[in-house]
Amino acid sequence: MQAKLSICAAAVLCALAATPAVAAEWSDTSASWRYGTQFAEPGIDEDIKKNIFALTHVSGFKYGSNFFNVDFLMSGDNDPAAGGGGGAQEVYAVYVNQMHLGKITGNSFAFGPVRDVAISTGFDLSAKNTDFAARVRKFTFGPTLKFGVFDGWADLNLLYYKETNHNGIVGKDVDFDPTWRVSGAWGIPFAAGSLPLSVNGFFSYTGAKGKDGFGNETKAETLIDIFLMADLGALADKKGTFLAGVGYEYWQNKFGNDHEKLVGSTANTPMIKAEFHF
DSSP string, 18-43: HS--TT-SEEEEEEEEEEEEEE--TT
Rounded to whole angstroms, the Cα distance separating 212 from 261 reads: 14
Cα–Cα distances in Å, from 167 out to 34, 77, 80, 89, 212?
Answer: 27, 21, 16, 17, 9
- 3 pLDDT above the threshold of 70: no
Would you state the pLDDT for residue 15? Answer: 45
Contacts of 73 (CB under 8 A, 6+ apart): 50, 51, 52, 89, 90, 91, 92, 128
**Domain CATH for 7:** 2.40.230.20
pLDDT in tens, 75-112: 999 999 998 879 999 999 999 999 999 999 999 999 99
Rounded to whole angstroms, the Cα distance separating 276 from 187 reads: 17
On whether the CB atoms of residues 185 and 198 are closer than 8 A, the answer is no
- 50 pLDDT above the threshold of 70: yes
pLDDT in tens, 193-207: 999 999 999 999 999
Range of the domain at 182: 2-277
Report which of residues 17 and 109 the model is more confident about: 109
pLDDT in tens, 104-148: 999 999 999 999 999 999 999 999 999 999 999 999 999 999 999
- 99 backbone φψ class: left, alpha, beta (φ>0; ψ -120 to 50): beta
Would you state the pLDDT for residue 217? Answer: 98
> Across all residues in the chain, what is the average pLDDT?
93
Would you state the pLDDT for residue 148? Answer: 92
On whether the CB atoms of residues 35 and 54 are closer than 8 A, the answer is no
Of the candidates 59, 88, 83, the one whose C-alpha atom is nearest the C-alpha of residue 72 is 88
The values of phi and psi at residue 78, to 5°, are -80, 0
On whether the CB atoms of residues 44 and 78 are closer than 8 A, the answer is yes
- 1 pLDDT above the threshold of 70: no
Would you state the pLDDT for residue 275? Answer: 98
> Which amino acid is it at 108?
S
Rounded to whole angstroms, the Cα distance separating 39 from 267 reads: 6
Of the candidates 217, 212, 214, 140, the one whose C-alpha atom is nearest the C-alpha of residue 183 is 140
Rounded to whole angstroms, the Cα distance separating 147 from 83 reads: 48
Rounded to whole angstroms, the Cα distance separating 194 from 196 reads: 6
The values of phi and psi at residue 45, to 5°, are -95, 45
Q: How many domains does the chain have?
A: 1
pTM of the model: 0.91
